[in-house]
Structure 1
Amino acid sequence: MKLLRVGPKGAEKPAVIDAEGKIRDLSGKVPDFAGAGVSLEAIDAIRALDLSALPELSADERIGCCLASVPNFFCIGLNYAKHAAETGAEPPKEPIIFNKATSALSGPFDDVVIPRASTKGDWEVELGVIIGKEALYVSEEDALDYVAGYCTINDVSERGFQTERGGQWVKGKSAPTFGPCGPWLVTADEVGDPQALKVSLDLNGETVQDSDTSDMIFSVREIVSYMSQFMKLVPGDIIATGTPSGVGMGMSPQRFLKPGDEMVIRVEKLGEQRQITVAAS
């Protein structure tokens, strides 16, 4: 299934795309897509509904972030071999885990706001993993059984804040609008192998990132299992699994976002995003 949220900012409705591609309103049938609302049990409850009996929504409505909120917004750094090489970093021996502030969540077609004092805004197409049940001390063999679904993410970053201001990376990852997710949460059964998905990002019509998830150093199985050895993952947690080569920081000369830039972000089977960058007021 493809789950989504449609409507004005702050007033989105949970919805589902039916077999004919129509958007059906789930309001009153399920809770919003957050926490227990995206648990494996909640998704099974949606499968049991007669979607054709639900009200149809206009395809012209705004599509919001596919998750209303998240308990935790985790990210994995330097997780594509070619991306690690372009940054001059050694491939990590264990997954590098960091956070984005949950307030960075944004709609897939909303503007990306370049923060005040920003000079090094950057783009990162990523495969997002949404957890569907509590995971603690999970084996790699069983890890995908804890995944509710997947989504497209643009892990927008400010490299100066991230690498030049001391402390943790979270400062360069967390500005409002720095976490566009969606357009859909696609359930795991519809995606199949998460290590066989094309990922790409176009900047102003030029393809700058073009790879696939087979280049990931640590697979989704490895990431979920590894993280669960240190913390309990809970329904609604989202994990951005890293970006391939082609980011602005890795270019020579380096290239960074400026107001008016257009980003088009794609993950195979998970849909396309489009954002325009604007300066902070």
Structure 2
Amino acid sequence: MKPYALGTFSHERDSRKFVGLVMDDQVADLAILAKLYDAPALADAGSVLALLDAWDTHRAALDRLALAIDVKTEHWYARDALRVHPAIDLPRQVFCTGANYRKHVVDMTVDAKVGPPGLDEAALRRWAENMMDERAATGEPYAFTKPVSTVSGAYDPLVLPNTTTQPDWELELAVVIGRSGYQIPRELAMSYVAGYCIVNDISARDLIPRTDYKMLGTDWLRSKGQPGFLPLGPYFVPKAFVVDPHRLKMRLSVSGKVMQDESTADMLFGIERQIEYISRYSRLLPGDIICTGSPAGNGTHYNRYLQAGDVIEAEIEGLGRQRQTCV
């Protein structure tokens, strides 16, 4: 089986979006390939979401097509020659699993000095580490939703809104759902996964707590729901080409300085557990994405937030790269 990815693209001279088959960092219009190589099951799929609506059928057709094609024909374009839109344009639902990386939560606890009184920094860190180990053993994921209107392309500018003074980055592995399901058991969870892509869960840190009425707790709408706060892509990579999603290297830099350099192995709750938990309360639909949490190294840790002119570069092993300029 030849590896491939999928995305949503357009030519600079033509605003029409098309589903692109990506091989060796070259892109071709899937509809054109479907006609050339007699793949009728793919000919009418006008979006990546449409492919995901019948993913098992379309995946088999894509596998056959990838084996047959030649990337040296005139129908292929360099990715840099195209405009890159959100890989899934657009998902139906976006779920996020918060506080899901062990070191990230430990660092936040130490940085905020939240814990039993009288502990020095080393003792507070040990307390936080023990708390995370206990949570992983006996606790549950913490999930919330994010508006689909936050989704943007992997190379689109990130417009920093005037509503926040602390815009922050959160590189995350996104799970793409390929089958509808409700109350999915953990042992079957991975059969609902179509593949993976990169997201950056941009967050306004100063807008997370509600200070007007503290019993309300966190406000995810205003802190994570603003336009452009979820760059998605550049590609959607089918799960067959990701050997172990729990062992992927992740790296994010801001204006040339590495801020996050971790692995998905630091997740507290794995993908199966997240799918089981979210689907206990919400029906998952084809094209949904689950943002699985962000590793250590956010702006809160460095007391450094995004500013106009900053360039964010992010990558996850095997899933491509993102690049946003803050304006």
Contact 1:25 1:57 in 2 (8 A): no
1:11–1:147: structure 2 CA closer, same or farther, 3 Å change rule?
Answer: same
Q: Distance in 1 between matches of 2:210 and 2:16?
A: 38
Q: Aligned letter for 2:7?
A: L
Task: Quote the residue 1:125 is aligned against.
Answer: 171
Asked if 1:33 corresponds to 2:48, the answer is yes
Structure 1 unaligned runs (5+)? none
1:57 to 77, 95, 99: 77
Shift of 1:183: 0.9
Q: Supply the RMSD in Å over aligned alpha carbons.
A: 2.1
Contact 2:25 2:78 in 1 (8 A): no
Shift of 1:58: 4.2
Asked if 1:248 corresponds to 2:299, the answer is yes
- How many residues of Structure 1 are paired with residues of Structure 2 in the alignment? 275
Structural mapping, 1:35-114, within 5 Å: 37=52, 39-49=55-65, 50-52=68-70, 55-59=75-79, 60-88=81-109, 91=132, 93-114=139-160
Shift of 1:257: 0.7
Shift of 1:162: 2.0
Shift of 1:45: 2.8
Larger Rg belongs to: 2
Task: Quote the residue 2:275 is aligned against.
Answer: 224
1:2–1:235: structure 2 CA closer, same or farther, 3 Å change rule?
Answer: same
Report percent identity of matched pairs: 32
Shift of 1:27: 3.2
Structural mapping, 1:206-221, within 5 Å: 206-221=257-272
Contact 1:15 1:23 in 2 (8 A): yes
Deviates more, 1:7-16 or 1:222-231: 7-16
Asked if 1:258 corresponds to 2:296, the answer is no
Q: Distance in 2 between matches of 1:186 and 1:23?
A: 14
Partner-residue secondary structure (3-state), 1:275:
strand
User: Taking structure 1 as the reference length, what is the TM-score of the superposition?
Assistant: 0.91
Q: Higher helix fraction: Structure 1 or Structure 2?
A: 2
User: Taking structure 2 as the reference length, what is the TM-score of the superposition?
Assistant: 0.79
Shift of 1:136: 1.8
Contact 2:207 2:219 in 1 (8 A): no
Deviates more, 1:43-52 or 1:219-228: 43-52
1:266–1:140: structure 2 CA closer, same or farther, 3 Å change rule?
Answer: same
Shift of 1:185: 0.2
Q: Distance in 2 between matches of 1:120 and 1:138?
A: 37
- Which consecutive aligned stretches of 4+ in structure 1 deviate over 6 angstroms post-superposition? none
1:54–1:216: structure 2 CA closer, same or farther, 3 Å change rule?
Answer: farther
Shift of 1:36: 5.3
Structure 2 unaligned runs (5+)? 33-42, 115-130
1:261–1:21: structure 2 CA closer, same or farther, 3 Å change rule?
Answer: closer
Q: Distance in 2 between matches of 1:61 and 1:181?
A: 16
